[in-house]
Structures are given as C-alpha cells and as structure tokens.
Amino acid sequence: MIWRGLCRRPLLLAIAMVVCFTWLFYRSDTLGDEVSLLERHHPLLFRYVHTNSALGGAWYIPRDWLSDTDHHPGGIVDAAQLALRAARSSVERQIPHSSIPLIVHQTWKNTRIDTWPRPIRHSTERWLRMIDGKAAYILWDDDGVAQFIQRFESELEEQFFALSPVERADVFRVLVSKWIGGVYADMDTEPLRSPADWISHSDLLPWQDPEAGKMYNSPGPVNAILGVEADCPSNSDDYWRMGYLHPLQLTQWAFAWAPGHPILQTFVDRLTAQLRTIMDQNGGLQTMSARQALRSLDPIALTGPGAITQATQSWLETTADLRWTALSGLHDNGTSKLVDDVLILPITGFSPGRRGYGNMGSKPISDPSARLLHRAQGSWRAFDLRVEYGKFCRTMFGRCRHWSKVPHHR
C-alpha cells in the first residue's frame, strides 16, 4: 500500500504536466490564430494601424504624394501637416469642385485593433479600402489629440481638458478641420462613395428658396460639406420629440472642410465665450461649482450637432442672407444646396436608409446621393436608463422636452 501511494504521486504530477503543456500549446496556437484572423479579415487596418509603432496614432499617406526629400514624419502632427502640404500641391489630391484636401480623419482611444469592437474594425477597414491610394488617412488616438491641441491650440488646452470625453471628441473634429482640413468621420460610419466622388456637378446647380423666392447660384469652389441630420416641419413639435434641438439640424458624425473655414472659428468662439462665462462666475474651471455648471449644459448644444448647426446658421444668415429652413429637402425631393462656399447635402447624404418613424425624407442607402452610412445604435454604446426614459417619454407622450439626451460620462 505504501509503495503504491508513493508511486501514484509522480504519475499524477506527470499527468498534470501533460495537461498543462497541452493547454499552453493550444492557447498559444489560438492566439496566433487570432492575429492571423485579424490580418485576414482586416488586411489594411492590420497593415496601417495595428502594426504601427508611432506615438499619437497611425497614418497612411499614398506613396506618390511623397517626394524623395520628404522625411518620414516623426509624429502624428507632422504627418498631418505633411499630408496637407502634399494635398495642396495638386488639385487631384482635393475633392473635385472644392479646395478640400483628400485627407480622412478619425479618432479612437488606441490603435490596438484587437481591443476594438468588431463593427468598428469592419467600418474602418471599409474606409481604408475606399481611399487606398487616393487619399491620406489619419487616425488620432488620445495621445495624438493631446499633441495636436498642444501644437495648435495651446491657449485652449485648459478649457479643452475641462470638457467630458464626448465633448472633447466633438471639439477635436472641429479643430482638426480648422488646421488641417479634409473629411472627418466617426468610427461608426461606413463610406458608400469615396470622398473623391462626394461632389457631383448636379450638387452645384442653382436653387431657389420656395418661400422667399431668392436664387442661390454660387460659382464655387466648395469649401465645406455638411449633411442634414434632422429635417422636420418647423411649425410642428416633431423635432424635439425625436430628440433634436432644431427642426433643421446638421450632423457632425461626418463633414468635410477646407482648412481655415470661418464657420469653424465661429464654433470655437461660441464655445470659448460660454466657457469663459462659467470661469468668470465660478472662479476658474476647476472649482466644484464650475464643474457642476459645465455638467448641467447639454453637450448636444455646447459642442455637438446643435453647436455645429448654430455656427453654420449664424454664419450663413450673416454672409449669404440665408433663410435657414430653406435648406429643407422635404419639398424638393432632397436636392443638395450650395450656399456661398458651403454645400449642404440632403438627409440622404450622411443619413440614408432611415425607416419608419423619423424617416424625414431619407432615401435607401443605394440612392446615388448617399455618401456614407451611420450605424448610430452600436452595441458598444452604454445603455443609459435616464436617456432611454426621456426618449420614450418624448416619443410616446410629447413631454420631457428638456430631459437629458446624452449619458454623462465624467
């Protein structure tokens, strides 16, 4: 008996070791599989983003944009400036009929694509495939955004970092458009047409305000492309019941700009004026009361689509005497409208395929006027009971107009 007991222990040990090594072997094998699967399913994302080692993000600049004298950029801000210089040197590197550089900007926390939600990997790969060889692509991570702010807007730094992450993302897209320009698109958008085909001749045709009778006839070139997000009759309560701040609201999940457009500065000026008021009333931005005051502001109005809509509206009303709701596509089957150098796409432009309640004239994604698809209801978004309640209450009962529409992650 004693002899058998002694003998069994090494046997158990041996079995345990075999099990352990087998497990380790299969584990490293499946890890290898995951990497090769990532590469197989998302080859461009893998090549340009995942295997990148630069700080601040990742970028792709078409090889023939670069000359022999161009040094390999040391950081993401230099890369963006290099892309802009290259884009300016040739009209083929700008969106036709415009001065908008063919540079696509996106932003995400990091460049480790194995940690990204699957839909995000899918849509980003589609962007890279769509622009491969024809446009530059710049993916800014959190560190890259900080580098950018420090380089270009250092006097805004304190205000910028006092905002919530959602608001910072809102403001960054405006600032990168102001200094570099190009297309900005959220990570949950998918291109349906290459940005190089975003403007057709038919988008530039003269149009008439049906109420005021005024004709709009701009010679071009286009310096900004914005899309309608909400298109509701202005005399109904539809827009706020659906959660919008304006009957005719523009989107900021995608837009395109020539650098330096005055609407972008209008946005920045409006934001800094509001933040300065909070600073003056609360002794800075870091005090408890200042943080409370900041948190009580609606991000949609402060930095989101509401702010983009207000900046564009005030600029176009002043410079072009535009009657804002003349931009509605409800009465002309959704045609594009050029006002001065700003091209406003109908709702189908950046929001095609909306169905049922809240369709607002949105046509199917196969429609020629659809530029990109927006997957708003991504499963990676946090579910927020307060926000969902407000949505339900507005839609069903027409109440809760000022109930919060955005979860507060602060």
Ligand X SMILES: *[C@@H]1O[C@H](CO)[C@@H](O)[C@H](O)[C@H]1NC(C)=O
- Residues forming the site for ligand X (CB under 6 A): 333, 363, 367, 369
Structure tokens at 209: 């305000």
Q: CB of residue 193 vs ligand X: minimum separation in angstroms?
A: 14
Question: With respect to ligand X, which residue has the nearer C-beta, 297 or 365?
Answer: 365
Q: CB of residue 376 vs ligand X: minimum separation in angstroms?
A: 22
Q: CB of residue 243 vs ligand X: minimum separation in angstroms?
A: 26
Question: With respect to ligand X, which residue has the nearer C-beta, 63 or 355?
Answer: 355
Distance CA(263)–CA(270), nearest Å, equals 11
Task: Determine the 3-state secondary structure of 274 from DSSP.
Answer: helix
Give, in order, the Cα–Cα distances in Å from 42 to each of 98, 122, 127, 259.
31, 7, 11, 31
Question: With respect to ligand X, which residue has the nearer C-beta, 107 or 369?
Answer: 369
Please state the separation of Cα 89 from the chain's center in Å: 26
**Nearest C-alpha neighbor of 372 from the set 351, 393, 353, 400:** 351
**Nearest C-alpha neighbor of 96 from the set 203, 255, 216:** 203
Question: With respect to ligand X, which residue has the nearer C-beta, 363 or 405?
Answer: 363
Q: CB of residue 410 vs ligand X: minimum separation in angstroms?
A: 42
Question: With respect to ligand X, which residue has the nearer C-beta, 340 or 367?
Answer: 367
Eight-state DSSP code of residue 365: T
Question: With respect to ligand X, which residue has the nearer C-beta, 363 or 394?
Answer: 363
Q: What distance separates the 2 farthest-apart alpha carbons in the chain?
A: 106
Task: Determine the 3-state secondary structure of 128 from DSSP.
Answer: helix
Question: With respect to ligand X, which residue has the nearer C-beta, 124 or 336?
Answer: 336
Other CB atoms within 10 Å distance of the CB of residue 328? 22
Structure tokens at 252: 């900021």
Other CB atoms within 10 Å distance of the CB of residue 119? 15
Q: CB of residue 332 vs ligand X: minimum separation in angstroms?
A: 9
Distance CA(316)–CA(342), nearest Å, equals 9
The answer for residues whose C-beta is within 8 angstroms of residue 399's C-beta and 6 or more apart is: 393
Q: CB of residue 364 vs ligand X: minimum separation in angstroms?
A: 9
Q: CB of residue 369 vs ligand X: minimum separation in angstroms?
A: 6
Q: CB of residue 333 vs ligand X: minimum separation in angstroms?
A: 4
Asked if 280 and 253 touch (Cβ cutoff 8 Å), the reply is: no
Q: Which residue is nearest to ligand X (CB)?
A: 333
Question: With respect to ligand X, which residue has the nearer C-beta, 293 or 330?
Answer: 330
Structure tokens at 280: 């003056």
Q: Kind of pairing, strands 342-345 and 337-339? A: antiparallel
